[in-house]
Chains A and B, each alone.
Chain A
């Protein structure tokens, strides 16, 4: 398995901007919790922000995660996301303007449903794919996955993470 030496963040300064998007109930906020926790475990400054409240009712949800040496605003400025991770295909076009030119889009069709050990672990699978682009240690990502989920779900989500990670390794990382 290869590890990218530098993601697109290397070209935008110290802060990495990730936006996660999907529909209420898909685990968008859980995924952003995991990513933010992984950045914390890696010793970085991190902020994450989303608007929830209505999210349980099946509406659109986006969550911003920013990490680096020092993070100021908790929100990823529109058009400045380095990575856009989308869990629902219906949300891809709506959220695309959030991505900066040259940013990386990770969409749900990267991970075929049939390959997922459990449909509900798409969020963790896409985090696995994202992990190929980030400078975060993979152990920090996996520890964060485990810390966020009950023990009975660890094995299935580790498999989902590895599946995503292997897909991320094969993906063309220069452009979405």
Chain B
């Protein structure tokens, strides 16, 4: 059998191909981005959505039609998708729906380290968690089986280490499942969540979870929830990559390795704990397993609060077992990332810094404008938040300060969740007006240059409908909409910025210049797109801006 060296993300993509996933959709976010890219390269149908909420809704609709679907996002993306997620637990699905949440303990590339196992508990969804690439591959099939058998979305929880570490995967032989045939069956009481339908739906959900919990305790789930008997003096209950750190830290110990982290196999844990002298829970992030076992009356030791922060590793697993709370050695402090030397945004941040602007920032490469030498960002909270936060500042600050407030947002982030902020701006304009600076580098740069609706190209770089950012801003009712290249004309950009700050008009400045890392690829894709349009003139009309059609 062929051994492949795959990242966890690539292993999920391969499993998705082999498990008959008909559609993969998501929004780029480290460390989840590579799943859909790899799925597309393997020949799967993969597409980027404007944001995670839309991705989940598209995946849900397809799963209502009996398809098996995959939706991917980083942990904070699930906050955006939480609204449909909770009620999708009530409606359930006909085919299968796997929602990958890629958590980032240690915040290698994120604004928080929330533990999304909590979402599984809160929404009432089964949650499967792999430890390495082989488990990512194997458990994905199990997630599809659980989703198909109980007609529920399944949360597939990964972490940065599991997503990005590469390890050996042996794929199933001849395992490739054809996607099931799609069809629609009316199920109004099951899918139209008016209160009269939602009340019984909630009871159905809890009944399904009770069944899954019982199943998870038994022999059918022995690969997911695995007891590895060893030395009876210490038993370790663990999940995900923490299992591997703990297995290295305590060779020979007894293990209960949990792969179905919701609902938890409480009785299995009770029996396991009864058979060892001490039971230690080793889990990354929040004490989710530890709290649940304690609530069930099982005597366990859990990690010390200091290990809630950041990733676990072998050294930390040793410390948890030893109860060692002495200070840890400081991590190596290397060189921080910075804006690329030829980044088109240097001139933007130089101007914002020079004029002492109050900058409501957003999430992307351009967040690096907060670092020296510019230090030209004052807030960064969530995708799209720059516009609302900037408006709030404008509403209450004294006029002199209010006039220095600028919202700065990237092109992909704007499409993700900045649009409703712009609608708010037109609806509740501050008395001093406001300036929204959309930094349009023609790509989702930070996550590795993915396409988005305003690039006019699909995930695999083929031409499609193109959202006009300036056209949209105009349609929303923003009085002043200007497009400028801040790199080619830094003085012009600075003059424009000052002019707009002095005005009380609502202003959008689109600072447009391709990302230096993506520019060559963008040229290549555009040439390819032009060739395709020449071959298929019928498509050409679709690619024109609306007003020219």
Contacts and interface: CB of A to CB of B under 8 A. Distances in A.
B447 interface: yes
Contact of B166 (A36, A57, A60): A36
A94 B168 contact: no
B339 interface: yes
A60 B3 contact: no
Nearest to B333: A94
Contacts of A89: none
Interface string A39-81: 0100001111111111111111010000000011111011000
Contacts of B448: 56
Contact of B164 (A52, A58, A72, A78): A52
Interface stretch (B45-53, B244-252, B451-459, B527-535): B244-252
A97 interface: yes
A33 B245 CA distance: 22
Using C-beta atoms within 8 Å of the partner chain, give the interface range for chain A: 35 or more
A157 interface: no
A57 B165 contact: no
A49 B334 contact: no
A59 B164 contact: no
A55 B337 contact: yes
A24 interface: yes
A73 B313 contact: yes
B336 A73 contact: no
B315 A51 contact: no
A23 interface: yes
B69 interface: no
A59 B337 contact: yes
Nearest to A52: B164
A40 B168 contact: yes
Contacts of A48: 5, 165-167
B337 A58 contact: yes
Contacts of B160: 51
Among B109, B167, B313, chain A packs the most CB atoms within 10 A around the CB of B167
Nearest to A72: B248
A12 interface: no
The majority secondary structure among interface residues of chain B is loop
B329 interface: yes
A48 B108 CA distance: 17
A57 B109 contact: no
DSSP majority for the A interface? mixed
B332 A98 contact: yes
A82 interface: no
A164 to B, nearest CB: 23
Residues of B in contact with A, size category: 35 or more
B75 interface: no
A90 interface: yes
Contacts of B335: 23, 58-60, 90-91
Interface string B71-83: 0000000000000
A75 B340 contact: no
Nearest to A50: B164
B346 to A, nearest CB: 13
Contact of A51 (B3, B164, B167, B368): B164
A95 interface: yes
Nearest to A58: B338
Nearest to A91: B334
Given A53-B108, A72-B247, A73-B244, A46 B337 contact: no
Nearest to A75: B313
Interface string B360-378: 0000010010000000000
Contacts of B341: 58
A74 B241 CA distance: 8
A16 to B, nearest CB: 14
A37 interface: yes
A47 B165 contact: yes
B441 interface: no
B5 to A, nearest CB: 5
Contacts of B245: 72-73, 75
B132 interface: yes
B413 to A, nearest CB: 16
Interface string A15-41: 000000001100000000100110010
13 contacts: A47-B132, A48-B5, A48-B167, A52-B30, A53-B108, A54-B109, A57-B337, A59-B334, A74-B132, A74-B241, A75-B313, A78-B315, A94-B333
Closest 7 CB pairs of A and B: A60-B334, A53-B109, A57-B337, A59-B337, A53-B30, A74-B165, A49-B165
Given A48-B166, A60-B335, A72-B245, 12 more contacts: A36-B5, A37-B5, A47-B167, A49-B161, A56-B340, A56-B448, A57-B337, A58-B340, A59-B338, A73-B313, A77-B314, A94-B334
